[in-house]
């Protein structure tokens, strides 16, 4: 069966995102969930309490590009810095940013032939390169908002259009109630990166990263489109499209596995927060054979 239909190709060009239903089989989804459980208990049980929001001054975040580290939701931590939730894992916002490097299951899915096929059909990327991966939890009641942003803010490439693509795979059903992704359809067509998140050149400052440029513009709410998903559905995200997600106010979980692909044949900014290291070398998709 054709994984990428003509409708998907047209939606990706027009809207800057597209949903590919049934990208992963139920057993692949189960494998990723089991891998997530392993990662959370094996790697993160002794992790420090770092809230995903305070990245600018956070060395723990800054050094997570080639590791597997956990980050907590703001709403899961009280004023004294202690967890409000009974089980630590229920307060996690995400684990990242090198799951694809260290865990065989994440590796198998990320470097799979299905990913290669999607990239071939939807993009003109010449040297597909994986630079980061995360599980985003959005737990019931504590899963917080993700404000409107472009992925190119964080992973800037030059030239930008068509050289950064996000893969976001639903591991639970994602609905309007539990915080599915929402896209400002067509916003990628401005071909503009509004804001950058870069390394602070002032090395004497405690602030490790700064924002430059302007926030993304407020766009008509009529162009905001929900990307509801069943488990295993893939949302492909153009690096320039503006997107967001609401808090999870429901009692249903909304977990997703996401990773980013850049074109290794164009310039990747040395100002980006995430840089290749000897542990996360930004491997090329075609250099890794995972038999899947
Ligand atoms: O999973 C989410 O709610 C937001 C993910 C997202 O926007 C991103 O990773 O760029």
pLDDT at 46: 62
pLDDT at 91: 87
Nearest one of 173, 175, 178, 180 to 237, comparing CA atoms: 180
Pull the structure tokens for residue 110: 């990320």
Give pLDDT, residue 48: 61
| Pocket of ligand 1, beta carbon within 6 A | 136, 138, 146, 151, 166, 179, 181, 243, 245, 256, 258
pLDDT recorded at residue 50: 64
Indicate which atom in ligand 1 lies nearest the CA of residue 256: 1
Q: Which atom of ligand 1 is nearest to the CA of 136?
A: 1
Task: For residue 181, report the distance from its CA to the centre of ligand 1, in Å.
Answer: 7
CA distances for 240 relative to 44, 134, 180, 202, 224, angstroms: 32, 19, 19, 28, 15
Instruction: Check residue 223 and give its pLDDT.
Output: 84
What pLDDT does residue 54 have? 61
Cα of first residue to Cα of last residue in the chain, in angstroms, is 16
Domains of the chain by start residue, with CATH: 6-48+97-287 (2.60.120.620)
Atom of ligand 1 nearest to the CA of 243: 7
CA–CA gap between residue 174 and residue 140 (Å, rounded): 12
- Give the model's pLDDT for residue 49: 62
Residue nearest to atom 7 of ligand 1 (CA): 244
- Which residue minimizes the CA distance to atom 1 of ligand 1? 136
Separation between Cα atoms, residue 67 and residue 61, nearest integer Å:
10
Query: What's the confidence (pLDDT) of residue 75?
Result: 83
Q: What is the pLDDT of residue 55?
A: 65
Choosing from 136, 151, 274 the residue with most ligand 1 atoms within 8 A of its CB, the one to mutate for a pocket test is 136
Triad 38, 135, 122: Cα angle to 5°:
130
Q: Are 136 and 245 in contact (CB under 8 A)?
A: no
Per-residue pLDDT of the chain (292 residues; tens, 9 = 90+): 689 999 999 999 999 999 999 999 999 999 999 999 999 987 556 666 666 666 666 788 899 999 998 888 888 888 877 778 878 788 899 999 999 999 999 999 999 999 999 999 999 999 999 999 999 999 999 999 999 999 999 999 999 999 999 999 999 999 999 999 999 999 999 999 999 999 998 888 888 999 999 999 999 888 899 999 999 999 999 999 999 999 999 999 999 999 999 999 999 999 999 999 999 999 999 999 887 6
For residues 68 and 225, what is the distance between their CA atoms, to the nearest angstrom? 32
Closest atom of ligand 1 to CA, residue 244: 7
CA of 136 to the centre of ligand 1 (A): 7
**Residues with Cβ within 8 Å of residue 230, at least 6 apart in sequence:** 21, 22, 170, 173
Which of 137, 166, 254 is the pocket-test mutation for ligand 1 (most atoms within 8 Å of CB)?
A: 166
Cβ(8)–Cβ(22) under 8 Å? Answer: no
Which of 167, 258, 260, 262, when mutated, tests ligand 1's pocket best, judged by the most ligand atoms within 8 Å of its CB?
Answer: 258
Position 88 scores a pLDDT of: 79
How many other CB atoms are there within 10 angstroms of residue 140's CB atom?
Answer: 16
């Amino acid at each position: 069966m054709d994984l990428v239909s003509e409708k998907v190709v047209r939606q990706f060009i027009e809207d800057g995102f597209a949903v590919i239903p049934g990208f992963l089989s139920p057993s692949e989804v189960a494998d990723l969930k089991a891998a997530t459980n392993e990662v959370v208990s094996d790697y993160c049980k002794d992790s420090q309490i770092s809230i995903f929001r305070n990245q600018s001054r956070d060395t723990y975040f800054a050094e997570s590009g080639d590791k597997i580290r956990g980050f907590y939701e703001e709403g899961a931590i009280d004023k004294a810095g202690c967890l409000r939730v009974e089980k630590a894992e229920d307060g996690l916002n995400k684990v990242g940013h090198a799951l694809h490097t260290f865990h065989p299951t994440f590796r198998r899915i990320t470097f799979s032939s299905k990913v290669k096929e999607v990239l071939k059909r939807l993009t003109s990327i010449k040297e597909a390169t994986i630079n980061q991966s995360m599980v985003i939890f959005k737990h019931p009641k504590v899963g917080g908002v993700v404000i409107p942003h472009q992925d190119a803010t964080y992973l800037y490439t030059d030239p930008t259009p068509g050289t950064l693509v996000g893969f976001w795979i639903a591991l639970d059903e994602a609905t309007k109630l539990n915080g599915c992704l929402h896209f400002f359809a067509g916003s990628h067509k401005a071909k503009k990166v509004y804001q950058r998140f870069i390394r602070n050149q002032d090395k004497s400052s405690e602030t490790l990263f700064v924002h430059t440029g302007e926030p993304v513009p407020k766009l008509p709410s009529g162009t905001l489109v929900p990307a509801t998903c069943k488990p295993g559905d893939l949302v492909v995200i153009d690096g320039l499209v503006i997107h967001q997600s609401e808090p999870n106010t429901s009692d249903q979980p909304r977990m997703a596995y996401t990773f980013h692909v850049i074109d290794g044949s164009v310039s990747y900014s040395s100002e980006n927060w995430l840089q290749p290291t000897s542990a996360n070398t930004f491997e090329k998709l075609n250099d890794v054979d995972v038999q899947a």
